[in-house]
A = this chain, B = another copy of it.
Amino acid sequence: MARTLDTVFSALADPTRRTILSMLLEDDMAVTDVAEPFEMSLAAISKHLGVLTTAGLITQEKHGRVKWCKLDPDAMRDASIWMQGFGQFEAVNLDAFEAFLETQFSDDV
């Protein structure tokens, strides 16, 4: 999928989609169940899930007639890493920063 910062940040810009992501933090869900708490059509939620999928923030897998939605953390992590470069205003040693990230991520590859 087009896991760019553009698609990730614009996916995260919508409150409905952020709520969906936090719901999926608890557990994987079917599309209909994701839609249930929202006061909007199933089609609208389906579109939101499409946006999240394109951004790489979730994956969808169809089993029978049910499509399961599942968080996919990689895209969010990429965006988060980009942001961490800014959290601190000045003069961060970028090489050291990347080395730091290495140590942080070294155990999950």
- Please list the residues of chain A having a beta carbon within 8 angstroms of any beta carbon in chain B: 5-6, 9-10, 12-15, 18, 21-22, 25, 71, 73, 76-77, 79-93, 96-97, 100-101, 103-105, 107-108
In the assembly, what is the distance between CA of A87 and CA of B83, in Å?
A: 13
Q: Which of A22, A73, A93 has the most CB of B within 10 A?
A: A73
Of the A-B pairs whose beta carbons lie under 8 Å apart in the complex, a sample of 22, sorted by A's number, is: A5-B13, A6-B13, A6-B15, A12-B83, A13-B13, A18-B82, A21-B86, A25-B89, A73-B86, A73-B88, A76-B86, A79-B83, A80-B92, A83-B83, A84-B97, A88-B101, A88-B104, A91-B105, A92-B101, A92-B104, A96-B103, A100-B100
Query: Cβ of A80 and Cβ of B84 under 8 Å apart?
Result: yes
* Nearest 9 CB-CB pairings of A with B: A73-B89, A10-B13, A9-B13, A9-B12, A80-B83, A91-B104, A100-B100, A92-B104, A91-B105
